[in-house]
Amino acid sequence: MEALDIEAGTVHLRLSRPAHIDLESARHRFDAAAWLGFEISLDDRRPPNGTPTPDDQRIRRYETDLGLPLRPGSQRTIFRKAAVVDLGAPQTTANGLHVPIAWRSATMAPLFPVFAGALEVLPDELVLDGWYAPPGGSAGLVVDRAFLNVAARGTARWFLDRIAEAIESPIS
């Protein structure tokens, strides 16, 4: 069962996929994430006193497309939507990397979900975990439970696969 936060109007989303990842290489791929799209100029997001933290909390914003395969596994029939993706600096954890991530529609924003969460990059797995807000507030939650969650999960899975393509290490 999906976790809902009715007051906030959000739905929990957690997806994972197996991967083969060299963490240091992945960190560099996130540091230079041209593979994600066109970087939009955005001021560094730092604590109010301006002091950098050990894992620089800089956020980079990219114009990109998100995709929803209309048939599972199909690369030919994909609905694409212009989006803005915010990517935080990778933070080292005991098991891998933690990368804050968020996205929203670049156009007609009130009609599409907004996502905020993190990507956990492990040597053998990618995990996308966060919350999304379906459009339409409380009514949107009802519609999401009925069928929109399939689209939200499909888009998130597609996005997770694109990240894997960009950061996975070749199997030797």
Evaluate whether residue 52 is within a structural domain. no
Picking from 91, 89, 94, the residue whose alpha carbon sits closest to that of residue 30 is 89
Counted domains in the chain: 1
Cβ(25)–Cβ(54) below 8 Å: no
Residues 6+ apart with CB under 8 A from 126: 16, 17, 19, 21, 119, 120, 160, 163, 164
Cβ(13)–Cβ(132) below 8 Å: yes
DSSP 36: G
Using CA atoms, how far apart are residues 109 and 19, in angstroms rounded to an integer? 32
> With bands split at pLDDT 50, 70 and 90, how would you rate the model's confidence at 57?
low
Cβ(1)–Cβ(11) below 8 Å: no
- In terms of pLDDT, which residue wins out, 101 or 141? 101
Each residue's pLDDT tens digit, 14-44: 999 999 999 999 998 988 788 888 888 765 4
> With bands split at pLDDT 50, 70 and 90, how would you rate the model's confidence at 135?
confident
User: CB-based burial of residue 99 (10 Å sphere; 0-12 exposed, 13-18 middle, 19+ buried)?
Assistant: buried
CATH number of the domain that residue 21 is part of: 3.30.530
Each residue's pLDDT tens digit, 79-122: 667 888 899 999 999 999 999 999 888 876 666 778 999 999 99
Cβ(106)–Cβ(94) below 8 Å: no
Using CA atoms, how far apart are residues 8 and 30, in angstroms rounded to an integer? 30
What's the domain range around 130?
12-42+59-167
Q: Answer yes or no: is pLDDT of 63 > 70.
A: yes
